[in-house]
Amino acid sequence: MDASAKRPRLDIPYPVIVEGRYDRQKLVSVINAEIITTDGFGIFRNAEKQALLRALAARTPVIVLTDPDGAGGVIRSKICGMLPPDRTVRLYVPRVEGKEKRKSAPSAEGVLGVEGTDTEVLYRLFLPYSGGAPTRLSDNPLSAADLFRDGLTGRPDSSARRDAFGRRFGLPPGMNARAFLAALRFICTYEEYLETIRGSAAKADPFDRPAEPGRDTSVIG
Protein backbone atom coordinates (compact mmCIF):
# COMPACT_ATOMS: atom_id res chain seq x y z
CA MET A 1 0.00 0.00 0.00
CA ASP A 2 1.13 3.55 -0.75
CA ALA A 3 2.72 4.99 2.40
CA SER A 4 0.99 8.32 1.81
CA ALA A 5 -2.43 6.61 1.70
CA LYS A 6 -2.28 6.34 5.50
CA ARG A 7 -1.60 10.04 5.94
CA PRO A 8 -4.14 12.85 6.18
CA ARG A 9 -4.35 15.08 3.17
CA LEU A 10 -2.05 18.07 3.06
CA ASP A 11 -3.68 21.47 3.56
CA ILE A 12 -2.45 23.69 0.75
CA PRO A 13 -3.23 27.40 1.22
CA TYR A 14 -3.03 28.33 -2.46
CA PRO A 15 -5.13 27.53 -5.54
CA VAL A 16 -3.66 24.70 -7.62
CA ILE A 17 -4.01 24.66 -11.41
CA VAL A 18 -3.93 21.35 -13.29
CA GLU A 19 -4.91 20.31 -16.81
CA GLY A 20 -7.91 18.03 -16.44
CA ARG A 21 -10.47 16.41 -14.19
CA TYR A 22 -8.49 13.19 -13.77
CA ASP A 23 -5.50 15.19 -12.57
CA ARG A 24 -7.82 16.93 -10.14
CA GLN A 25 -9.22 13.63 -8.90
CA LYS A 26 -5.70 12.35 -8.25
CA LEU A 27 -4.70 15.45 -6.29
CA VAL A 28 -7.87 15.36 -4.19
CA SER A 29 -6.53 12.15 -2.65
CA VAL A 30 -3.33 13.94 -1.63
CA ILE A 31 -4.15 17.57 -0.87
CA ASN A 32 -6.96 19.69 0.50
CA ALA A 33 -6.99 22.75 -1.75
CA GLU A 34 -8.98 24.64 -4.32
CA ILE A 35 -8.04 22.85 -7.57
CA ILE A 36 -8.80 24.51 -10.88
CA THR A 37 -8.60 22.75 -14.24
CA THR A 38 -7.56 24.31 -17.54
CA ASP A 39 -9.59 21.77 -19.53
CA GLY A 40 -6.43 21.02 -21.46
CA PHE A 41 -5.89 23.65 -24.13
CA GLY A 42 -9.35 25.04 -23.34
CA ILE A 43 -7.71 27.74 -21.23
CA PHE A 44 -6.38 29.31 -24.45
CA ARG A 45 -9.90 30.32 -25.58
CA ASN A 46 -11.63 30.66 -22.22
CA ALA A 47 -11.42 34.37 -21.42
CA GLU A 48 -13.54 33.98 -18.29
CA LYS A 49 -11.24 31.37 -16.76
CA GLN A 50 -8.19 33.47 -17.65
CA ALA A 51 -9.79 36.40 -15.84
CA LEU A 52 -10.47 34.18 -12.83
CA LEU A 53 -6.83 33.09 -12.64
CA ARG A 54 -5.66 36.71 -12.86
CA ALA A 55 -8.04 37.72 -10.10
CA LEU A 56 -6.81 34.92 -7.86
CA ALA A 57 -3.15 35.72 -8.57
CA ALA A 58 -3.77 39.33 -7.58
CA ARG A 59 -4.61 38.15 -4.07
CA THR A 60 -2.65 34.94 -3.52
CA PRO A 61 0.17 32.87 -5.01
CA VAL A 62 -1.03 30.22 -7.46
CA ILE A 63 0.51 26.75 -7.90
CA VAL A 64 0.82 25.49 -11.47
CA LEU A 65 1.22 21.75 -12.06
CA THR A 66 0.93 20.35 -15.59
CA ASP A 67 1.94 17.10 -17.28
CA PRO A 68 5.67 16.52 -18.01
CA ASP A 69 5.18 16.39 -21.78
CA GLY A 70 5.25 18.94 -24.57
CA ALA A 71 1.56 19.79 -24.30
CA GLY A 72 1.90 20.30 -20.56
CA GLY A 73 4.82 22.64 -21.15
CA VAL A 74 2.78 24.74 -23.59
CA ILE A 75 -0.13 24.99 -21.16
CA ARG A 76 2.18 25.86 -18.27
CA SER A 77 3.85 28.59 -20.34
CA LYS A 78 0.45 30.02 -21.26
CA ILE A 79 -0.68 30.17 -17.64
CA CYS A 80 2.57 31.57 -16.29
CA GLY A 81 2.68 34.09 -19.12
CA MET A 82 -0.64 35.58 -18.11
CA LEU A 83 0.17 35.80 -14.37
CA PRO A 84 2.78 37.85 -12.48
CA PRO A 85 6.00 35.81 -12.11
CA ASP A 86 6.16 36.47 -8.39
CA ARG A 87 2.66 35.04 -7.91
CA THR A 88 3.19 31.67 -9.59
CA VAL A 89 4.72 28.57 -8.06
CA ARG A 90 5.72 26.05 -10.72
CA LEU A 91 5.77 22.42 -9.65
CA TYR A 92 6.93 19.54 -11.84
CA VAL A 93 6.27 15.82 -11.71
CA PRO A 94 9.07 13.54 -12.97
CA ARG A 95 8.96 12.32 -16.55
CA VAL A 96 8.17 8.61 -16.25
CA GLU A 97 7.35 6.34 -19.15
CA GLY A 98 4.09 4.47 -18.80
CA LYS A 99 0.32 4.46 -19.32
CA GLU A 100 -2.49 5.42 -16.99
CA LYS A 101 -4.75 2.49 -16.06
CA ARG A 102 -7.89 4.07 -17.49
CA LYS A 103 -6.31 4.56 -20.94
CA SER A 104 -6.19 1.96 -23.67
CA ALA A 105 -2.98 3.42 -25.11
CA PRO A 106 -0.10 5.61 -23.86
CA SER A 107 -0.04 9.35 -24.47
CA ALA A 108 1.63 10.72 -27.59
CA GLU A 109 4.97 10.90 -25.80
CA GLY A 110 4.44 7.71 -23.79
CA VAL A 111 4.84 9.34 -20.38
CA LEU A 112 2.63 9.49 -17.31
CA GLY A 113 0.73 12.66 -16.57
CA VAL A 114 -0.16 14.10 -13.19
CA GLU A 115 -2.98 11.56 -12.82
CA GLY A 116 -0.55 8.69 -13.29
CA THR A 117 2.12 10.02 -10.94
CA ASP A 118 2.75 8.02 -7.79
CA THR A 119 0.85 9.36 -4.78
CA GLU A 120 4.00 9.39 -2.66
CA VAL A 121 5.74 11.57 -5.24
CA LEU A 122 2.86 14.03 -5.20
CA TYR A 123 2.79 14.06 -1.42
CA ARG A 124 6.46 14.97 -1.23
CA LEU A 125 6.01 17.54 -3.98
CA PHE A 126 3.34 19.46 -2.06
CA LEU A 127 4.67 18.91 1.45
CA PRO A 128 6.83 22.10 1.50
CA TYR A 129 3.73 24.18 0.72
CA SER A 130 1.44 22.71 3.34
CA GLY A 131 0.40 24.14 6.68
CA GLY A 132 1.75 27.16 8.45
CA ALA A 133 1.44 29.49 5.49
CA PRO A 134 -1.05 32.34 5.89
CA THR A 135 -4.24 31.72 3.97
CA ARG A 136 -7.52 33.54 3.68
CA LEU A 137 -9.22 30.27 2.85
CA SER A 138 -8.59 28.55 6.17
CA ASP A 139 -9.70 31.60 8.18
CA ASN A 140 -12.63 32.64 6.01
CA PRO A 141 -16.06 31.55 7.29
CA LEU A 142 -17.83 32.71 4.12
CA SER A 143 -20.30 29.99 3.20
CA ALA A 144 -23.11 29.05 0.85
CA ALA A 145 -25.54 30.27 3.51
CA ASP A 146 -24.10 33.80 3.23
CA LEU A 147 -24.54 33.84 -0.53
CA PHE A 148 -28.13 32.64 -0.17
CA ARG A 149 -28.93 35.19 2.53
CA ASP A 150 -27.53 38.00 0.40
CA GLY A 151 -29.32 36.99 -2.77
CA LEU A 152 -26.27 35.76 -4.64
CA THR A 153 -27.93 32.36 -4.94
CA GLY A 154 -31.55 31.19 -4.76
CA ARG A 155 -33.13 34.06 -6.71
CA PRO A 156 -34.09 34.47 -10.36
CA ASP A 157 -31.61 37.33 -10.67
CA SER A 158 -28.82 35.73 -8.62
CA SER A 159 -26.57 35.16 -11.64
CA ALA A 160 -26.69 38.87 -12.54
CA ARG A 161 -26.15 39.80 -8.91
CA ARG A 162 -23.06 37.56 -8.71
CA ASP A 163 -21.70 39.20 -11.86
CA ALA A 164 -22.26 42.68 -10.39
CA PHE A 165 -20.77 41.73 -7.04
CA GLY A 166 -17.84 39.87 -8.59
CA ARG A 167 -16.80 42.90 -10.63
CA ARG A 168 -15.81 44.57 -7.36
CA PHE A 169 -13.12 41.92 -6.97
CA GLY A 170 -12.14 41.46 -10.59
CA LEU A 171 -14.01 38.19 -11.07
CA PRO A 172 -15.29 37.23 -14.52
CA PRO A 173 -19.02 37.08 -15.26
CA GLY A 174 -20.94 33.87 -15.64
CA MET A 175 -19.43 31.96 -12.71
CA ASN A 176 -21.66 29.29 -11.17
CA ALA A 177 -22.44 29.51 -7.48
CA ARG A 178 -19.91 26.91 -6.35
CA ALA A 179 -17.01 28.42 -8.29
CA PHE A 180 -18.03 31.92 -7.18
CA LEU A 181 -17.93 30.94 -3.51
CA ALA A 182 -14.56 29.21 -3.88
CA ALA A 183 -13.04 32.25 -5.58
CA LEU A 184 -14.44 34.72 -3.05
CA ARG A 185 -13.00 32.76 -0.14
CA PHE A 186 -9.56 33.26 -1.65
CA ILE A 187 -9.69 36.86 -2.81
CA CYS A 188 -11.54 38.61 0.01
CA THR A 189 -11.88 38.34 3.75
CA TYR A 190 -15.25 37.82 5.37
CA GLU A 191 -15.12 41.41 6.59
CA GLU A 192 -14.49 42.68 3.04
CA TYR A 193 -17.40 40.61 1.81
CA LEU A 194 -19.76 42.05 4.43
CA GLU A 195 -18.56 45.60 3.81
CA THR A 196 -19.21 45.23 0.09
CA ILE A 197 -22.68 43.79 0.71
CA ARG A 198 -23.51 46.62 3.12
CA GLY A 199 -22.15 49.21 0.72
CA SER A 200 -24.28 47.85 -2.08
CA ALA A 201 -27.35 47.97 0.13
CA ALA A 202 -26.68 51.61 1.02
CA LYS A 203 -26.34 52.50 -2.67
CA ALA A 204 -29.27 50.32 -3.77
CA ASP A 205 -27.01 48.32 -6.05
CA PRO A 206 -28.48 45.61 -8.33
CA PHE A 207 -27.75 42.92 -5.80
CA ASP A 208 -30.02 44.59 -3.25
CA ARG A 209 -33.16 44.44 -5.41
CA PRO A 210 -36.32 42.89 -3.90
CA ALA A 211 -36.73 39.22 -4.61
CA GLU A 212 -38.62 38.36 -7.77
CA PRO A 213 -41.03 35.44 -8.21
CA GLY A 214 -39.47 32.19 -9.30
CA ARG A 215 -36.54 30.07 -8.34
CA ASP A 216 -32.87 30.31 -9.21
CA THR A 217 -31.08 27.02 -9.94
CA SER A 218 -27.73 28.28 -8.65
CA VAL A 219 -28.27 27.27 -5.04
CA ILE A 220 -25.18 25.47 -3.77
CA GLY A 221 -26.11 21.96 -2.72
Domain boundary residue, one of 70, 101, 129: 129
**Can you give the C-alpha Rg of the chain in angstroms?**
19
145 and 118 share a domain? Answer: no
Are 194 and 105 in the same domain?
A: no
Verify that 32 and 117 share a domain, yes or no: yes
**116/145 same-domain check:** no
CA dihedral sign of residues 48, 54, 59, 63: positive
Q: How many residues does the chain have?
A: 221
Q: How confident is the model at residue 140 (pLDDT cuts 50, 70, 90)?
A: confident
DSSP string, 55-109: HHHTTS-EEEEE-SSHHHHHHHHHHHHHS-GGGEEEEE----B---TT-SS--TT
* Domain, as residue range, for 84: 3-129
Read off the pTM: 0.71
Domain boundary, last residue among 102, 129, 156: 129
pLDDT digits (tens, 9 = 90+) for 149-170: 999 999 999 999 998 898 888 7
Q: Give me the number of domains the chain comprises.
A: 2
Write the CATH number for 60.
3.40.1360.10
Burial pattern 184-193, b for ≥16 Cβ within 10 A else e, equals bbbbbebebb
* 18 and 104 fall within a common domain: yes
